[in-house]
Structure 1
Amino acid sequence: MNLRYIAMSDGEAERLQQGGRDAYGNLPNRDISDGDGVPCRHCLRNVERGEPYLILAYRPFSSVQAYAETGPIFLHAEKCPGHDGRSLPPILGSSKEYLLRGYGADERIVYGTGGIVPAENLAQRAGELLAQQEVAFVHVRSAKYNCYQCRIEAD
């Protein structure tokens, strides 16, 4: 099974980088990266030391419902290229483990799919989850803080 790693869309990233409001209607905060643990959710690379970035509330779902979690993310403050979707995103090599969770086509959690996975087993576990008929996509989240990293779908 081929996996597709889905980042924040170009349109959403540009909207926020151009002064758009976040999921709570607030303007993103702007900061300068210290180069440690600032993963951009559009290019799926870390924001390098000295580069400006945005901190904002993000809801990676198409609807507002009970399972549509909203949380803090980082985004390059300036335009950056979107991730190609095919290769393992660089940000998914920066931690030892991640939380993976499967969702149905209705964007609700598929119970029994959530769990902490070692980074080296991430693609394998995502493939196992996506092989389940009821799982339409998988979220990768920080194992420590539950912050959204990206979405994975089967190609």
Structure 2
Amino acid sequence: MTHIQFSAMPAEDAAHIWSGGTDAYGLAPEHRISDGQGTPCRHCLKDVAAGEAYLILAYRPFPALQPYAETGPIFLHATPCHRADDAASTPPMLQKRKAHLIKGYSADDRIVYGTGQIVPPASLEEEAARVLERPDVAYVHVRSSVNNCYTCRIDRAEA
């Protein structure tokens, strides 16, 4: 079986926003206060607690614009948080959700058709590993199964 690694939003992407940078649309992020009802930060991979400030911004987790470079809303703590360590197992934040959308992407950042599927948290590792067994898949994105928002990335890992 393919070994996998979950990775949060890159630290440099979050630092860009925290230092006053603009989002994927060239806009300043929106500031909000969490009600504690499921505001997942893509950098620390933890929910923003009730009463804590967070940002909403457009995020494009791809190196360049192209037809498959999906851009969408994500949440980020308003102040710097520790980036989640890369992990071989499903991060706790993802275990709390009912289901996730996973999609495989090629080395040139295009969706590999036939890889998209909705999976429950208990099957996330197994299904992502199965998708990554395909030689045409370079990595997998985990997205919200209801809103399609980017959550994190899964890559092949060394055994």
- 3-state DSSP of counterpart to 2:115: coil
- 3-state DSSP of counterpart to 1:30: strand
Counterpart amino acid of residue 152 in structure 1 = I
2:100, 2:122 → 1: CA distance?
10
Instruction: Give the TM-score normalised by structure 1.
Output: 0.97
- Mapping for residues 77-96 of structure 1, pairs under 5 Å: 77-86=78-87, 87-96=89-98
1:32, 1:90 → 2: CA distance?
22
Q: Are 1:75 and 2:66 matched, yes or no?
A: no
1:98, 1:9 → 2: CA distance?
20
| Percent of aligned pairs sharing the same letter | 54
Deviation of the 1:90 alpha carbon: 2.3
1:94, 1:20 → 2: CA distance?
31
- Other-structure match for 2:41: 40
Note the residue ranges of structure 2 that are not aligned, 5 or more in a row: none
- Other-structure match for 2:148: 146
1:102, 1:113 → 2: CA distance?
5
2:72, 2:93 → 1: CA distance?
17
Could you tell me whether the CA contact under 8 Å between 1:46 and 1:90 is conserved in 2? no
1:109, 1:142 → 2: CA distance?
16
Deviation of the 1:91 alpha carbon: 2.0
1:54, 1:111 → 2: CA distance?
32
2:18, 2:37 → 1: CA distance?
21
Deviation of the 1:2 alpha carbon: 2.5
- Other-structure match for 1:97: 99
Instruction: Give the TM-score normalised by structure 2.
Output: 0.94
Q: Are 1:115 and 2:130 matched, yes or no?
A: no
- 3-state DSSP of counterpart to 2:100: strand
Q: 86-95 or 59-68: which moved more?
A: 86-95
2:12, 2:137 → 1: CA distance?
26
Counterpart amino acid of residue 155 in structure 2 = E
- 3-state DSSP of counterpart to 1:16: helix
Deviation of the 1:4 alpha carbon: 1.1
Kindly report structure 1 stretches of 4+ aligned residues shifted beyond 6 Å: none
Counterpart amino acid of residue 59 in structure 1 = R
1:80, 1:88 → 2: CA distance?
20
Aligned residues: 155
Deviation of the 1:14 alpha carbon: 1.3
